[in-house]
């Protein structure tokens, strides 16, 4: 436990003094804020069925591949490249404590960015109380449901980033691998939410793909449930298993490469 706390404090300090994480968070939040503003302005003219707050949660999830690689790509790859990982692992600290500590630090930073983004609805209500009165931007059920989904998905997404950083010495390769895995996951979410093909061969192929890959993703419909306040336990378990699985892979990769 002491080793974990040492690694966690060291990684949190490293993230908060790194210019790259601040630059990534700044541009990410800026684009997110501009998108949220334009969505609010055009909400009355669109056929979007979900409340405006849901658009912010969806944007946070689908924009995560642009943020999480910057939080995780240096974690293990840069340590291995500099030769400090071997020194760290010969200390009285377990490999599990090193990997989990680095993951938790990235997870904390991701949560802080999400909390900052959820400040946009508060700012809109404060600046334009009359215009936003009927938009239900601060609906408690939506805030709780969307927040829980971000916590669950963020844990798995940052674990994927840590895994990507554990299999290479190059932080740029780790970042690209993390981006690719997260983008693939989100593409599967969007695919499983789409309409089924109408032709026989397309329908059969789609069914095979859904049956074989359905366990890898929860689908966009589950996200829509959360952002309207419906908590799905199966989705939370899915992300918990994914987090443990990728952290386990990262521990195995770090142990093997250290032997």
**164, 99 Cβ separation under 8 angstroms:** no
| Of 160, 126, 117, nearest in space to 26 by CA | 117
Residue-wise pLDDT tens digits, 215-245 = 445 556 677 778 777 888 888 898 999 999 9
pTM beyond cutoff 0.75: yes
Q: 209 falls in which pLDDT band (50, 70, 90)?
A: very low
**75, 102 Cβ separation under 8 angstroms:** yes
CB atoms within 10 A of CB 241: 12
Structure tokens at 163: 């895994």
- Expressed as residue numbers, the domain containing 135 is 2-258
**228, 145 Cβ separation under 8 angstroms:** yes
Number of domains in the chain: 1
**65, 183 Cβ separation under 8 angstroms:** yes
Structure tokens at 17: 């003094």
Burial (Cβ within 10 Å: 0-12, 13-18, ≥19) of residue 140: exposed
Spatial separation of the C-alpha atoms in residues 56 and 166, rounded to whole Å: 31
Residue-wise pLDDT tens digits, 16-56 = 888 888 888 888 888 888 888 877 777 666 666 667 777 78
Structure tokens at 97: 């404590």
Q: Please tell me the predicted confidence (pLDDT) of residue 177.
A: 94
Task: Name the more confident of 202 and 5.
Answer: 5
């Amino acid at each position: 436990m002491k080793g974990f706390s040492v690694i966690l404090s060291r990684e949190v300090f490293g993230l908060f003094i790194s210019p790259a994480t601040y630059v990534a968070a700044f541009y990410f939040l800026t684009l997110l804020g501009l998108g949220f503003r334009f969505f609010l302005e055009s909400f009355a003219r669109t056929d979007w069925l979900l409340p405006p707050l849901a658009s912010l949660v969806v944007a946070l999830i689908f924009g995560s591949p642009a943020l999480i690689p910057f939080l995780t790509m240096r974690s293990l790859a840069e340590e291995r490249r500099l030769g400090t990982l071997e020194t760290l692992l010969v200390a009285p600290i377990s490999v599990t404590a090193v990997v989990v500590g680095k993951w938790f630090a990235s997870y904390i930073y991701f949560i802080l960015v999400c909390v900052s983004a959820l400040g946009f609805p508060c700012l809109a209500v404060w600046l334009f109380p009359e215009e936003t009165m009927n938009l239900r931007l601060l609906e408690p059920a939506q805030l709780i449901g969307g927040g829980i989904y971000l916590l669950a998905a963020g844990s798995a997404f940052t674990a994927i980033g840590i895994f990507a950083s554990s299999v290479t010495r190059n932080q740029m390769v780790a970042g690209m691998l993390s981006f690719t895995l997260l983008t693939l996951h989100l593409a599967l979410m969007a695919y499983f939410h789409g309409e089924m093909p109408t032709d026989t061969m397309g329908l059969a192929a789609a069914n095979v793909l859904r049956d074989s890959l359905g366990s890898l993703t929860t689908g966009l419909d589950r996200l829509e449930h959360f952002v309207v306040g419906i908590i799905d336990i199966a989705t939370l378990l899915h992300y918990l298993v994914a987090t443990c699985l990728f952290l386990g892979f990262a521990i195995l990769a770090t142990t093997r490469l250290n032997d």
